[in-house]
Every structure is written in structure tokens, then in C-alpha cells.
Copies of this chain bind each other. A is one copy, B any other.
Amino acid sequence: MRTSADVGFVAADVAATLDRCQRATKPALQRAIAELHPQLALIGAYHQGWCNADGSEVNANGGKAVRPTLALLSAEVAGTDTTVALPGAVAVELVHNFSILHDDVMDGDRMRRHRPTAWTVFGTGLAVLAGDALLTLSGQILPRGLGSRSSVAADRLTCAVSELILGQAEDLSFEQRSDVSIGEYLAMSSHKTAALLSCSASIGAVLAGAPPAAVEELATMGRHLGMAFQAVDDLLGIWGSEDLTGKSVFSDLRRRKKTLPVVAAINAGTAESRELARTLSRADLDEDEVGYAAGLVEAAGGRDRARREVDSRLNMALDSIDRIEMPAQTRAELAGLARYLALRKT
């Protein structure tokens, strides 16, 4: 069995892949967002890292473009020019940005990618409306009348959005509960994060007319990758470097988010599990208490459990990639991206 230790990747190669796909997607994404009401277009551009709050141009970190990259690579699986997958790449990125704009409002997050979140800059109302606009735009990018491939892609995207909303509802409801099982966590993660990655990793193949078996295997690959991605997020949310992630450390613990390390630790049935549950049930946790809770999560095996989830999901994703016929270059790029996403520090 492969473990994260021995599945290396060349960071520069992955960066080149992400950069190439981000560049390929950006013009169409910019054109789509520019069609919105000027105020909403400004929020969309700010959120993407294209401009400051006053509209002045900037080249800030607007995310890694993981979803458009998966969409374009999935078209290359079919051996075609990726142009056919561009609307899919734009659509999944729009959905991702819709979900972040709204999630930041719901979670009250004030910083993202080292910049103030949109709602703190433009107000809650306009941030919500900008999210609505991006979601609606994502439904208009894939022209439904133009043949069944586009129609199938649009349906798959709508299903992913529906799962994503379900997952966010589950995640929010977990914050009020102390008895979340690992199974419930995994279902939430599958809905909230993995559904859109699964859609991203297959939508280009759908648009390129890849064989149904390849499409489904890519969707499975994306689902595993999404589960790994969320578990990595959970690990970084407790033990990540604030300098690298741009999010405040321990904030997930402070908010009683039922991340995999926490859920696994609480369900481990050890003395540390019980002490952790007691600690997290207190009203307001100060810095020391949150640090103490993080230590308990680790002592109860929560950190290891999450790392094992990442390893096993990465392996399943790599197995899926092995099973699909595709050009050698695409295989190398997909596998490299999968490894990078599972081993990232940011």
C-alpha cells in the first residue's frame, strides 16, 4: 500500500498545471462575471483576487483553481482539446465561489487567503447577493439547448450544488451536537466538499464525450480526492500554519466544528475522548483551553485517524487514475495534482 510518505510529487510540475488551467479559464470567467451588475461584478472580481475593494487592479491570491484544473484535465482524458470543457471549468469555479461567499457569511469568517472576506468589505447583503449571482451564472454557462452533453453536464452540476448545500446544512447542524459519528462526518464531507470535486473531475470528460465508464471512474476519483481534501482542511484548521493558510489557527476548534480529527477523537472511547468532550462543552474557550483541546484530539488519536483518511482516499484516487485509459501526460498531471492536494500545507 502507498502512504503519503512515498507518493512524492514535483511541486513545480503541479504549479505549472494549475497555472496553465487557471490561465485558460480566466478570460471566460472574467467575461462571465463582468456581465453582472457592476457592484456584484466588483465583489466577484475582489473575491477572485483580481482587484482591490475600490476596483483597482491587483494580483492577489484568489485560490488555486483546483476545480477548473480538474475539469480541463478530465477533458484531456478523452484526448480532446480542452476548449470544449471551458464552460464546465468556469461553471464549477463559479459554484465554488458562490459557496465560499455564502459560507464566509454563515461562519462569520473575516479572513480568507490573507484578505478580508467579501462580507466584511461590502456588507452581508451584497455578499449574499453576489453569491446568488455567481450561482445563477453557473447555471447559464452550460447552454442547455445545445446538445445532450451540455445538458448532462448541467444536470450533474445542479446535483453537485444540491449536495453541497445539504453538506453545509449538515456541517452547521453538527456544531450544535456532541454525538456526531464518523459515518455522519464522512457523509457530510462527501456532500459539502467531495460532490463538487467529483463533478469538477468529470464534467470536462462529459463535455468531451468520454466513454461513460471513464466519466464515472473520474467522478469516483474526484469524490475520493474531495474526501482527502476536506480531511486535509480539517488537519490544517487545527495544526496548520496561520502564515500559510491565511486563516486563524484553532478557529475550527473554537467554533466546535465537528472536523474529522475531533469526531474521531471523541468517538475513540478513551479517557482523553471524555476529557475532550468535557472541554469542548464549556461556554467560552480561551487560547490555553483551545490548545489543550488540540492536544487531547491528538492524544485520543484524532490526528492519526484524519491522516489515515487522507492516505486511504489518496490511494483510492490514484487507483482510479490507474484504471482509466488516458494520455501519459494527463495521467502524470492528474496523479501529481492528487498527491499535491493530499499533502498540501495551505
Give the B-binding residues of A (Cβ under 8 A): 36-37, 39-40, 102, 105-107, 124-126, 128-129, 131-133, 135-137, 139-140, 144-145, 148, 151-152, 154-155, 158-159, 161-162, 165-166, 168-170, 172-173
Are B129 and A168 in contact, CB atoms less than 8 angstroms apart? yes
Of B105, B131, B140, the residue contacting A162 (CB under 8 A) is B140
Of B133, B151, B159, B172, the residue contacting A125 (CB under 8 A) is B172
A137 touching B151 in the complex, CB below 8 Å, given contacts A125-B106, A168-B129, A169-B39: no
Are A172 and B102 in contact, CB atoms less than 8 angstroms apart? no
Report Cα–Cα, A131/B125, bound state, in Å. Answer: 13
Report Cα–Cα, A105/B145, bound state, in Å. Answer: 35
Known interface pairs A106-B125, A132-B135; 8 further A-B residue pairs with C-beta atoms within 8 A, sorted by A's residue number? A37-B170, A39-B172, A106-B126, A129-B169, A129-B172, A135-B135, A136-B162, A151-B151
Chain B: minimal CB distance from A107 (Å): 8
Are A102 and B132 in contact, CB atoms less than 8 angstroms apart? yes
Report Cα–Cα, A137/B145, bound state, in Å. Answer: 20
Chain B neighbourhood of A129, CB < 8 A: 102, 106, 165, 168-169, 172
Chain B neighbourhood of A148, CB < 8 A: 145
Report Cα–Cα, A117/B332, bound state, in Å. Answer: 53
Are A128 and B102 in contact, CB atoms less than 8 angstroms apart? yes
Chain B: minimal CB distance from A217 (Å): 23
Chain B: minimal CB distance from A139 (Å): 5
Of B131, B139, B169, B170, the residue contacting A158 (CB under 8 A) is B139
Listed A/B pairs (15) with beta-carbon separation below 8 Å: A39-B169, A102-B132, A124-B124, A125-B172, A129-B168, A133-B162, A133-B165, A136-B161, A136-B162, A139-B158, A140-B159, A144-B144, A145-B151, A145-B155, A151-B151
Q: Residue on B with the closest CB to A167?
A: B37
Are A144 and B135 in contact, CB atoms less than 8 angstroms apart? no
Are A169 and B37 in contact, CB atoms less than 8 angstroms apart? yes
Q: Residue on B with the closest CB to A102?
A: B128
